[in-house]
Chains A and B, each alone.
Chain A
Amino acid sequence: MHITDILVTGEPIIYGAMVSMALGGLAILFVLTYFKKWKWLWREWLTSVDHKKIGVMYILSALLMLFRGGVDAMMMRVQLAFPDLGFLNSQHYNEIFTTHGTIMIIFMAMPFLIGLMNIIVPLQIGARDFAFPYLNALSFWSFFFGMALFNISFVIGGSPDAGWTSYTPLSGAAMSPGPGQNFYLMGLQLSGIGTLATGINLMVTILKMRAPGMKLFHMPIFTWSTLVTCFIIVFAFPILTVALALLTIDRIFGAQFFTLTGEGLPMMWANLFWMWGHPEVYIVILPAFGIFSEVIATFAKKRLFGYNVMVWSMIVIALLSFLVWVHHFFTMGAGAFVNSVFSVSTMLIAVPTGVKIFNWLATLYKSKIEFTVPMLWSLAFIPSFILGGVTGVMLGMAAADYQFHNSYFLIAHFHYVLIAGTVFACFAGLVFWYPKMFGHKMNERLGRWAFWLFFFGFHVCFFPQYFLGLDGMPRRLFITNVAEWLPLNVISTVGAVGMALGFVVFVYNVYYSFRYSERETTGDSWNGNGRTLEWATTTPVPYYNFATVPYVDEIDPYVRMKEEGKTTFEEDEVKPIHMPSYTGQPFIFMALLGLASFGLIFEWMYLAVFGLIGGVVMMIRRSFDYDDGYYVSVEEIKETEKKARGL
């Protein structure tokens, strides 16, 4: 096999991408070697099992993917605003909308939220790490290699091009030959292992490792949203795993689960995909709700209104999420009864969601709102998300859906819920907890610029798309030089540029704040408004999190702790702390599975078998691993705490 058989050739844009990737890679190698950082990278990051570091790595990867997915989006917008320019050909366009969707959901939204959960949830419940720190590192590296695998597809072998939903029979072996679709299958499969493991890990952590006295209904709302999300992950992801495995067997080993010729059921893919896919969208929205609840309560300086109801509505949303999947393919042609059942269950979801919206408003009611950057994102979320929610109910009416289906109306709807919900929450959460992670806040002024650019850009980009949809413009369409659609498409592209500028300002703010922001001196970064335990730790958070874990018997325990002058360092109660050892095994294990997946993608079976055997060897290695971690001495804890608290 010649090298040109696997490299994608003939596209100037892709050549450009190749060159910039090569240069970027060389630059990183050079910097690491020049500053002698290789050992540091391995010892402090690649082998880390510390939930805070893993969280930071998740968020960095997610930001990188936001950039990649954003570039895809910008290329689509350019094509749609200037259809006669010949910027993209149709194949390239297909690949771009496929990778845009897949990356934004699987490799941006989820890891971003999982990164925030990683860092914050143990701190909120008074735990010193995850229940299974080794497994946590494994999860991250499986996501990382899955992501890497998916992302190299556009230069090696060609990207998947059947949409992020990868519907059969289009995505089957007959209609999508070559490695492209295999990249989708194996990339998702590999990173899915990590998501599932994280779900189990966080669930056990929350159920078993809470501070003494903390009952489930004393937990901070973000932790609650994480727990509910974990249940959805644990029950939904196996469905995706099975569906991906079946399609992989179809494509690579010639089975006929989803083909018509072999008496398979192509629509069964859609069925299985959305049985996972609908819970999946709640996996990315419930933690977002949790983040907004935390931010709004903090800056309204009040206890969250209707805490219990908020929790119960999340649980109800989680239950309903498994009962609505057919609304994604009403137009499959099922009879009126099938569609009606799912139409009704879909509309039911508006009830608990509406309850949550009113609770946020009630929290804000008559409060002294502090307009910080995370609060701006949260306040912008409420009206924007409602626009997405209301159009969602419109789409949920099966009869009307026959008009809206696969039009830009749908595109506008799900961007309104996913961006105004998830992406706003990611930004709000990152800015909110940034001082906990890095020891300094992000610059307010630049933060506002990023917010307003992104916020206006978002509405200018997606609001016109509702009307494009009503004017009949279908999604995933490459030829758009229809006079009626052109003005709205141009406006939409202008908005997209606004969002891109917002993102650039945000990234610049990371650099600017690193250089110039004031370093935090207390752990309670937002003017002493912190309500939950994460703000009780010092900044930067010591690697063991809590010198002494406080007794908790109410929600917002830190408010009382501050009144009573209690801290997470009661000097006479300090005991040695048991901590897990760092290990390079998860990295190596997942690198081997990544290699196996790469082999399967190109159907190079020797490579696949080699990687899989390597994986089994690593599992055996782990089974006989008797490293029980180590103890941090009382003296070291006291010294660290006194230094951090300036005692």
Chain B
Amino acid sequence: MAESKKRVPMNHVIGFILSLVMTLVAAWAAIQSDLPVTWVIIGIMILALLQAGVQLFMFMHVTEASSGNGHVPWNMMFHGFALAGILVAGSLFVMSFGHDHGDHGDMGDMEQQEEQHSEDHSGH
């Protein structure tokens, strides 16, 4: 049992405020800003990575010696990434409905459909 001293956990407070600010900026970028869609997406992606970094390094125990110098969290993160891979790739695969309109290259076909979709979107 680690001894806890009666003090304000500054690291956590800063991390908490940082994560709130980043969330608000992301929301602002998506809802209020006049930035082009591509930049909004890139911006949100970057913010998401920073957000994950804040969570992992300021709140979780990535660098702690007692977790095998981060061996345990990296192990879990590997599983997390594997699942995210299944989630994204699986959803794209399923939601494409597997329809290929030609004899070859359903992948290329899928991308084409995707492009058409995004074109429709920006034209809206």
A residues engaging B (CB < 8 A)?
A: 231, 235, 239, 263, 265, 267-268, 271-272, 275, 322-323, 325-326, 332-339, 341, 578, 623-624, 626, 628
- Interface pair A323/B86, CB less than 8 Å apart: yes
Residues on B with beta carbons closer than 8 Å to the beta carbon of A336: 98
**Which residue of chain B has its CB nearest to the CB of A207?**
B72
Knowing A271-B94, A275-B87 are in contact, say whether A263-B121 is a contact too (CB < 8 A).
Answer: yes
Q: Chain B 1-30, CB within 8 Å of chain A: the 1/0 string? A: 100101011001000000000000000000
Q: Which of A267, A325, A339, A628 contacts B95 (CB 8 A)?
A: A267
Q: How far is the CA of A619 from the CA of B93 in the complex (A)?
A: 40
Contacts of A335 in B (CB 8 A): 97-100
Could you tell me the distance between the alpha carbons of A628 and B4 in the complex, rounded to whole angstroms?
8
- A265, B95: Cα distance in complex, Å: 9
Q: How far is the CB of B92 from chain A (nearest CB, A)?
A: 10
- Measured between beta carbons, the chain B residues less than 8 angstroms from A624 are 8
Asked if B124 lies at the interface with its beta carbon under 8 angstroms from chain A, I say yes
B72-92, CB < 8 A from A = 79-80, 83, 86-87, 90-91
B121 contacts A235, CB within 8 Å? no
Q: Which residues of A contact B6 (CB under 8 A)?
A: 626
Query: Nearest residue in B to A319 (C-beta to C-beta)?
Result: B82
Q: Which residues of B contact A239 (CB under 8 A)?
A: 87
Structural contact, A623 and B9, CB atoms closer than 8 A: yes
Q: How large is the interface on B (under 10, 10 to 19, 20 to 34, 35 or more residues)?
A: 20 to 34
Residues of chain A lying within 8 A (CB to CB) of residue B95:
265, 267-268, 271
Contact B83 A333 (CB under 8 A): no
Given contacts A235-B79, A275-B87, A626-B6, contact A326 B121 (CB under 8 A): no
**Alpha-carbon separation in the docked complex, A289 to B88 (Å):** 31
For residue A337, which residues in chain B have a CB less than 8 angstroms away from its CB? Answer: 98, 106
Q: A322 and B97: CB pair below 8 A? A: no
Q: B97: which of A231, A325, A333, A623 is its contact (CB, 8 Å)?
A: A333
Pair B1/A578 contact, Cβ less than 8 Å: yes
For the A-B complex with A271-B91, A338-B98 known, give 17 more contacts whose Cβ atoms are closer than 8 Å.
Answer: A231-B79, A235-B83, A239-B87, A263-B121, A271-B94, A275-B90, A275-B91, A322-B83, A322-B86, A325-B90, A337-B98, A338-B93, A338-B96, A338-B97, A339-B98, A624-B8, A628-B4
Q: Is the CB of B94 within 8 A of A235?
A: no
State how many angstroms separate the Cβ of A164 from the closest Cβ of chain B.
21
B34 at the interface (CB under 8 A from A): no
- Give the chain A neighbours of B99 by CB distance below 8 A: 335
Which residues of A sit under 8 angstroms from B103, Cβ to Cβ? none
A263 to chain B: which residues have CB within 8 Å?
120-121, 124
- The 8 Å CB contact of B94, one of A322, A326, A626, A628, is A326
Pairwise interchain contact A623-B83, C-beta atoms closer than 8 A: no
Q: Which residues of B contact A268 (CB under 8 A)?
A: 91, 95
Q: Closest CB-CB distance, A250 to chain B, in whole Å?
A: 16
Q: In the complex, which residue of chain B has the Cβ closest to the Cβ of A578?
A: B1
Please indicate the chain A residues that have their CB under 8 angstroms from the CB of B80 in the complex. 235
Most buried by A among B79, B97, B106: B97
What are 23 A-B contacts with C-beta separation under 8 Å? Answer: A231-B79, A235-B79, A239-B87, A263-B121, A267-B95, A268-B91, A268-B95, A272-B91, A275-B87, A322-B86, A325-B90, A334-B94, A334-B97, A335-B98, A335-B100, A337-B106, A338-B94, A338-B97, A339-B98, A578-B1, A623-B9, A626-B4, A628-B1
Are B90 and A334 in contact (CB-based, < 8 A)? no
CA separation between A628 and B1, bound complex, in Å? Answer: 9
Within the complex, what minimum Cβ distance (angstroms) separates A436 from chain B?
27
Q: How far does the Cβ of B72 sit from chain A's closest Cβ, in whole Å?
A: 8
Question: Which residue of chain A is the closest to B99 with respect to CB atoms?
Answer: A335
Closest B residue to A239 by beta carbon equals: B87
The docked-state distance in angstroms from the alpha carbon of A323 to that of B1 is: 40
CB-defined contacts of A235 to chain B, threshold 8 Å: 79-80, 83
Nearest residue in B to A274 (C-beta to C-beta)?
Answer: B94
Contact partners of A341 in chain B: CB under 8 A: 93
A238: nearest chain-B partner, CB-CB:
B83
